Each structure stands twice: as structure tokens, then as C-alpha cells.
Amino acid sequence: MRNFSKATICLIVIILVMGIASSCYLFINPDNDDNSEESDLSDRNGQTPQERPTLTLSSTEHMQCFVEDISSYARKLKPGFIIIPQNAEELAFNEARQRNGLRTSYLNAVDGFGIEELFYDDQGRELNDRSRVSMLETLRDTGKKIMVSDYVKTDENYSRSLEYNYIRNFIAFPRSSSNYNYNNIPVMDDWLKETIGINTSNINALSGAKNYLYLIGGTGSNLLDRIADTNFDVVLIDLFFRGNNQPLTRTDLDKIKLKKNGGRRLVISYISIGSAENYRYYWKSGWEKGNPSWLVKSYSGYPNEYWVRFWDHEWQDIIYGNDKSYMKRIIDAGFDGAYLDNIEAYQQVRN
């Protein structure tokens, strides 16, 4: 066996790692019998699937590429389109590790980060996760907006959540037990009195936002009127806010894109890219876990959802890249951006 110096071995390892991390352009190989999985991702340079290079990625890299390619697709159709992934903020770093440095392509693809349960968890207990806070402060310092939704059970913890976030220049949406599923609109006067006051500025970019409303549930024929009667800088809602898979229209969005005080605000659509929901327009009769094969795992606590093998070309075609895709519907409706949920699927479904 030939002997190599330590320096030579290190150089070989570095070259191999750089090669693995160099590409997001993959395609599905249905005849592949090994344990690796490859995916069909939108090419930023306009290549067809047949022209794209082939490479096997980890689940971490698959999700990073998925977010990046969703962003690229959306911004080609609508320049300036806003992308906000929720949770799994570690994906903004190489190999999802802060010590490995920032992943520039991921940072360039997003405008901010939605964060749940940073200072208070889903039981209302106070948290002290210094490493996570440090990671988010690093991302904030790159110019990205950090949007935090804590779950609180008391008025005291509500005030503390606001304080903990705003002293770090994060914006906050603490929710109480009656609003765990983001169904209610908080009283605006009380809300802003405790934060930064009513913002009369036009909000044309996420960086200018000082508060936000997270309202992906909720019912009632007058809910859009109630949103229009607020001064939140950013509103996160569902494309199918009306229910029954009836999407909001440009007319609907025009109604809520102005704050009560006359300033412009951003309206962002929720979309789950890591789980399939059986009440969505794309769900077909007969689908269940394992059929299609990319519906791989039940989502604990959410009986109507399944974790998906998110790099599968069929799932990605549902999400983006064509005129029937979910993202195209969001863009056509006139939304300013998309809020990508269940990014942490990369931890639930692995190669």
C-alpha cells in the first residue's frame, strides 16, 4: 500500500468535499436500486432536466437546494419576490453547522427567517437556547429579518417575549393559548403600544418591517375587512384563506395591501414545502402514506399531513416550476412573497 503524507490526505479530502458541495442540479433516476436518491431541481441557467449534471446529495443539501431553486424560479417570474423559510435556520450555514460558515447561495435566496418558539416553547415555558439565538443574531447581521413567534401563557411572558426580541432587533408575534394555531388578530393598539408604535411608513421590502401578523387560520366572511383595519407591516396568510381550495384573488389582496393608516404593507403566502396536506387542491383520491411513494411518514400531531421525500420530482413539480404549481398560483394571485414551512423535513426524511 502506498504511503501518503498527512498533507496529501487532507488535500484529497478537501477536494472531494468541495466537489460534493458544488452543485444543486440533480435529476431523479427511477431505475436506481441503491439507497441514494436524486432529485429534479430547477436550473438557474435554464437547463432542461436532461442537461443537468447528476450528483447525490444529503438530505440537508437537498433542502438547501430546494429552497434556493424555489426562490430562483419565483424571482424570474416576479423580481424582488420575497422568500422566508420557517425554522431550520441552520440551513443558512454550510452542512447546517454554524462553525462551517455561511452558505452564500442560501442567504442570497432568502429575505428573512421565520422562527417559532425561540424564547418560549409550545408549552409556554421560557427557553434559554443561547446557541440558537447566536445563530439568529449572525443571520440578522447579514441584513436578514428575523421574525419570531413565541407561544406564551401569561401577560408577563407576552411582554417578555416582545422585550427579548426587540432588544435584539428581531420582530415578534407572541401568541397566547387561544391563538396557538394562528387564528386570531391581536388588538392592534395594545400590540403596538408595547413594541414600536404604529409605523406609518410604506413597506416595500421585508427589511423595513417592524411588526407582522401571522394569520394562517381563522374564519369568517369579514376577516379580510378586519385585516384591512390593522396597521401591521407584514401579513402572513394562506393562499386558500377562504377555505374549500378557493384561492385569494388580486382584488382580495389589493384590499389588504394598504394599512389602515394608508401606508403600504407586504402580504406573504404560507406554503408547506416539506409536508403534503390532504385538504389541498393537489391531493388525489386514493393517496395515503406510501402512495405515492414520496408520502413517506405521518406527521405527529397533524393527522392531515405527511412528511414527503421532498427531492422527488413529482413533489417538486407540485410546488414550483410550471404553470400549475403552487408557487405559480401564489405569484399569479399577487402575493409579495412566500413563507416556506416544514423546512425541517430534511431531519425527518433522509436519504
Residue 18 within any structural domain of the chain:
no
Residue 9 within any structural domain of the chain:
no
User: How many domains are contained in the chain?
Assistant: 1
Residue 75 within any structural domain of the chain:
yes
What CATH number should be reported for the domain holding residue 162?
A: 3.20.20
308-351 confidence digits (pLDDT tens): 999 999 999 999 999 999 999 999 999 999 999 999 999 999 87
Residue 36 within any structural domain of the chain:
no
Residue 287 within any structural domain of the chain:
yes
Query: Is the dihedral angle over the CA atoms 192, 156, 87, 102 positive or is it negative?
Result: positive
Residue 42 within any structural domain of the chain:
no
Rounded to whole angstroms, the Cα distance separating 223 from 208 reads 25
Residue 298 within any structural domain of the chain:
yes
Residue 174, C-alpha cell as written in the block = 407572541
Mean pLDDT per 10-residue segment, the chain (351 residues):
47 43 42 36 37 69 98 98 98 97 98 96 90 97 96 86 93 76 64 65 95 78 86 94 88 94 96 97 97 96 96 98 98 98 95 74
Rounded to whole angstroms, the Cα distance separating 324 from 284 reads 15
Segments forming the whole domain that contains residue 196 = 59-348
The DSSP output letter for 187 is P
159-193 confidence digits (pLDDT tens): 899 899 999 999 998 887 666 566 668 765 555 55
Residue 32 within any structural domain of the chain:
no
Strands lying side by side in the sheet with 275-277? 275-277, 305-308, 295-298
